[in-house]
Amino acid sequence: MQINIQATEQIYDAGKHGAERRKARTRDALQSDEVMTEANIGPTTAEVTSPAAAPPLPSNANALMVPAVVKVVPKSEPPEPKPKRRLWLWALAGVVAIMVGVLGYFQPWVAAVTEVTVETAALGPVSRVLAVNGRIAGERSVDVRPQVSGTLVSVPVAEGDAVQLGEVVAQIDPATQQAAVRQAMAGLDAAQVAEADAQAEHARNKALGSNVARVVLESSARAVQSSAQEVARTTALLDQAQIQLRNYTIHAPLSGNVLVLTAEPGQLVDPANELMTIADLEHLVVETDVDESYATQVKVGQPAALQLSGETAVLDGHVSFVSQKVDEATGGLEVKLTADAPLQAPIGLTVTANITVDERAAAITVPRAAIVRDANGTGVLLLDEGKAVRRDVMLIDWPAARLIVTDGLVAGDVVIGDATGIADGKAVKVKP
């Protein structure tokens, strides 16, 4: 078979030039795909197609391989989303925050001005008062107890009854003691008879004079002396028995009222049992305890203002009794207050009392909240040219809202009323 060489060369040249053009287009497509990939368009895939521009080879030509055209097409997957705008906003916010922090660090600190209340120190009359609570009690009150043991046979009084001094309020069965009295009386009678016989015998011996031996006379004299001693002994026994018998009858130790009654007929009692309490209700007092911290401040005669529970009226009174011993168990000092006018109130009623322990014609006082206590001692804060200025003071510490300043302040000083949380030198201004 004869081949047309010239035609074949033309075909080859045409195919060669077409292939070169297709290669150039492929490179351009690949570069474009890379650019698109860098622009986050997305990955691509390569699709191989036959060259459309290449003419078919003649059938009689040798099999000449023509390069295939490679076409790059985008992948069907959706492109990766672009960064959202909020990322840019977050970045901007971070920059702003850093700038604010830097400015805050280098900006000078401006201290806040605290508003305060103030008062001007002034001299005036001052009373130091101790507030206590007490209860109404009888000026005299006695717990009645038996002095002997036995069975109660009668209790002729009731709770609340008025009784007079010496009135019978209880009776213990006296039968046993009555027998003891009779026995003592018999012993005394026998002693008295023996004494009389001894005296008669001694008298006869003395009358015989020298006819009686001296020894006999001395013996009769000793018998008289011994019998007299026996009479004295038995007399004492009788007295003791009679006294003991009287103890079986219990009498009121004072005039007053029976406040508490625990005794009942048939009850077996002894000196440890409290039968009743009798109090003098004609003279009432207020019984209270003062803490030992103020024990040396309270004295008889100091004025006291009394207010009974449930009443609005305030009664004048005074300290009428101060114990000389502090109760070691409670740390309290017993104090009694007496109203200047007779009280009409039930026993046990609560009374609020203010005892005036100190009065001064002229003194400076400050609120308790104005006091500053620290390592430097005790002081107050004064308002001076817009600042709180500390000043040491001496005062009388007392359970009251205002305290007496004895040194450190003068009339006219402007004192900050509440020093809580305010440091020395802090900028302050008066609260409108």
Query: Could you give the C-alpha distances from 38 to 44, 46, 80, 409, in angstroms and in order?
Result: 12, 17, 11, 84
Looking at the domain assignment, is residue 273 inside a domain? no
Looking at the domain assignment, is residue 267 inside a domain? no
pLDDT, tens only, 82-140: 555 566 566 666 666 676 565 555 554 545 789 999 999 999 999 999 999 999 999 89
Q: How confident is the model at residue 30 (pLDDT cuts 50, 70, 90)?
A: very low
More confident residue, 43 or 139: 139
pLDDT, tens only, 286-340: 999 999 999 999 999 999 999 999 999 999 999 999 999 999 999 999 999 999 9
Rounded to 5°, angle at Cα 393 from 390 and 399: 115
Rounded to 5°, angle at Cα 260 from 255 and 263: 100
Q: How confident is the model at residue 72 (pLDDT cuts 50, 70, 90)?
A: very low
Looking at the domain assignment, is residue 354 inside a domain? yes
What mean pLDDT is predicted for residues 30-58? 43
Q: Which of 296, 297, 282, 13 is nearest to 140 (CA)?
A: 282
More confident residue, 55 or 185: 185
Do 327 and 296 share a structural domain?
Answer: yes
Rounded to 5°, angle at Cα 81 from 78 and 87: 170
Do 245 and 175 share a structural domain?
Answer: yes
Q: How confident is the model at residue 61 (pLDDT cuts 50, 70, 90)?
A: very low
- % of the chain residues with pLDDT over 90: 62
Looking at the domain assignment, is residue 274 inside a domain? no
Do 374 and 328 share a structural domain?
Answer: no
CB 80 within 8 A of CB 42: yes
pLDDT score for 204: 80
Query: Could you give the C-alpha distances from 347 to 161, 222, 353, 399, in angstroms and in order?
Result: 14, 65, 16, 29
Q: Which residues pair with 321 in a beta bridge?
A: 336
Domain count, the chain: 4
- Give the separation between CA 219 and CA 198, rounded to whole angstroms: 10
- Decide which of 326, 358, 390 is a domain's last residue: 358
Find the CATH number of the domain harbouring 392. 2.40.420.20
What mean pLDDT is predicted for residues 170-178? 95
Q: Tokens for 82?
A: 């672009």
Q: How confident is the model at residue 52 (pLDDT cuts 50, 70, 90)?
A: very low
Q: Residue 313's domain spans which residues?
A: 130-139+279-358
pLDDT score for 18: 53
Question: 67 pLDDT exceeds 50?
Answer: no
Do 375 and 347 share a structural domain?
Answer: no
Q: Tokens for 239?
A: 């007295």
- Decide which of 339, 358, 377 is a domain's last residue: 358
What mean pLDDT is predicted for residues 262-289? 94
Do 239 and 167 share a structural domain?
Answer: yes
More confident residue, 407 or 216: 407
Looking at the domain assignment, is residue 268 inside a domain? no
Q: How confident is the model at residue 209 (pLDDT cuts 50, 70, 90)?
A: confident
pLDDT score for 82: 53
- Decide which of 338, 358, 378 is a domain's last residue: 358
Question: 46 pLDDT exceeds 50?
Answer: no
CB 287 within 8 A of CB 340: no
Secondary structure (H, E, C), the chain: CCCCHHHHHHHHHHHHHHHHHHHHHHHHHHHHHHHHHHCCCCCEEEEEECCCCCCCCCCCCCCCCCCCEEEEEECCCCCCCCCCHHHHHHHHHHHHHHHHHHHHHHCCCCCCCEEECEEECCCEEEEEEEEEEEEEEECCEEEECCCCCEEEEECCCCCCCEECCCCEEEEECCHHHHHHHHHHHHHHHHHHHHHHHHHHHHHHHHHHHHHCCHHHHHHHHHHHHHHHHHHHHHHHHHHHHHHHHHCCEEECCCCEEEEEECCCCCCEECCCCCCEEEECCCCEEEEEEEEHHHHHHCCCCCEEEEEECCCCCCEEEEEEEEEEEECCCCCEEEEEEEECCCCCCCCCCEEEEEEEEEEEEEEEEEEHHHCEEECCEEEEEEEECCEEEEEECEEECCCCCEEEEEECCCCCCEEECCCCCCCCCCEEEECC
Q: How confident is the model at residue 20 (pLDDT cuts 50, 70, 90)?
A: low
Do 231 and 217 share a structural domain?
Answer: yes
Do 242 and 168 share a structural domain?
Answer: yes
Q: Are strands 141-144 and 118-120 parallel, antiparallel or unpaired?
A: unpaired
- Give the separation between CA 72 and CA 411, rounded to whole angstroms: 101
Looking at the domain assignment, is residue 158 inside a domain? yes
Looking at the domain assignment, is residue 296 inside a domain? yes
Do 367 and 351 share a structural domain?
Answer: no
Do 102 and 1 share a structural domain?
Answer: yes
Do 354 and 406 share a structural domain?
Answer: no
Do 376 and 336 share a structural domain?
Answer: no
Do 239 and 193 share a structural domain?
Answer: yes
Looking at the domain assignment, is residue 245 inside a domain? yes
pLDDT score for 97: 67
Give the rounded distance of the alpha carbon of 387 from its chain centre. Answer: 36
Give the rounded distance of the alpha carbon of 364 from its chain centre. Answer: 31
Question: 17 pLDDT exceeds 90?
Answer: no
Question: 69 pLDDT exceeds 50?
Answer: no
Q: How many other CB atoms are there within 10 angstroms of residue 307's CB atom?
A: 15
pLDDT score for 388: 94
